[in-house]
Structure formats: structure tokens, C-alpha cells
Amino acid sequence: MRIADLPSELRPRERLLAMGASTLGDCELLAILLRTGTSGMSAVELGSVLLSRFGSVARLLAATPEELQDIRGLGDAKRAELLAVSELQRRALEHLLQERAVLNSASTVSAFLRHHFNGLQQERFLGLFTDVRHQLIACEELASGTLDRVCVYPREVVRLALKHNAAAVVFAHNHPGGRATPSDSDKALTRKLRQVMSCIEVDLLDHLIVTPTETWSFREHGLC
């Protein structure tokens, strides 16, 4: 059944305006974004297909242009809308970190990092460089690697810290395998980076390990 054939009180857009976005399910919210379905499929049904294919809203909004290509019902306009929403989400989270101290924004930092790392099959290593108030100056990708190993070069970390005139830094990397427990090499790298940052008088605030479901903090465990 087409959305247009439903009673007005059951249509997603009308329900959102009348009762608020929180009353709608994921498929209905996606239907509002997509606006129309495709032949034999309503916008709500198309939203359901997309969620089934990617597994979650978060994974859908982290999809690359290549992953969205050739999906039945997704033309150029719909793909562009999904990619635009994903980028707006990333920018909104980054802007929040530029307005408040990183150490006082654990939930926002975790959300930002999960969005950045979502769906990646390789490890990536990031540096969140901050000013003296611990507000974000820049987020830089410092290295990428295999499924379970990434090579970080302290010289490059120092170069970027000096480039941004950073007063402090938070390091973060993902574990694609799903376990946030640090390895011995993670601990050794953290010790090395702490020494290097100390040499240029940049505080190492934390090193975070991120998975789709949890964030592990070296600082909270007394290792940073």
C-alpha cells in the first residue's frame, strides 16, 4: 500500500508533526527522508529493506557511496540524501566537541568516534587535537592498517601536534573484531606516545579503543 493511501493520522510525516519524531520507528523516519518508494514498494518498505541490508540505522548512515550504488529503489537523489545526512551527523558531533571540553563530553566523543569508525574492516588510528581548554581543534587520521594491527609513526604525530599548536591530544583507534580490551602492543604504543608528547609539552589526555558497542579508556584504567 502506498503511504498516500493511508489515513492521514497513520502517515509518517503527519505523525511526526503531530506527535514528534520519537514516536516513529526507524523505517518510518527513513521513509520521510526518502520521500517516495519504488515500483511495488512504499517508502516505508524501502526503509525496511535498507535496514535489513545494513543491519542498523547507524550502519546505513555510515555506508559509502559504493555500498549504496545499485540498490534497487535508490537513485542519485536518495543516495545523495543519505550521504548528506551522514555528513551532517558527523559535523554536528564534531561541532559539539569544538564547543565543550573533550574530557567532559565522554558520550559525545564516543558517538563521534563510533560514527567515524562504523563499518570499517581495518584498524584506524586518530588524533583529536585540543587547545588549552581541551576543546577540539582538529581530528586527524594518523594511520591505518590490517584487521588487527596498525602502524603509528610518532614523528607524524609530533608534526601534526605542532601544526595545530595543540595543547593536548586524545588518541583513539578501533578494534574491528569487536573486543575493546587493549593488547600488549596497544599498551606499549600508549607508553611510547605519552613519552613523545611529553617531549613537546603536549598532554596525552586519553587513548580510547572503540568498538560498535563500547569504548575502553586508558585514562579510566590508570594507564594513560
pLDDT band of 2, cuts 50, 70, 90: low
Query: Do 42 and 31 form a contact (C-beta atoms < 8 A)?
Result: yes
- pLDDT score for 130: 94
Is pLDDT above 60 for 3? Answer: no
Q: Provide the grid cell at 85.
A: 545526512
**Contact indicator for 24, 14 with CB cutoff of 8 Å:** no
pLDDT digits (tens, 9 = 90+) for 30-49: 988 888 888 778 888 899 99
116-164 pLDDT, tens digit each: 887 777 889 999 999 999 999 999 999 887 655 668 888 999 999 999 9
Residue type at position 90? R
Go through the domains of the chain in sequence order and give each one's CATH number.
3-90 (1.10.150), 101-217 (3.40.140.10)
pLDDT of residue 64: 81
85-114 pLDDT tens trace: 988 888 888 888 778 777 677 778 888 888
- What is the reported pTM? 0.71
List the one residue out of 110, 109, 115 whose CA is nearest residue 97: 109
Torsion angle in degrees (nearest 10) through CA of 96, 150, 163, 87: -30
List of residues 6+ apart from 45 with CB closer than 8 A: 27, 37
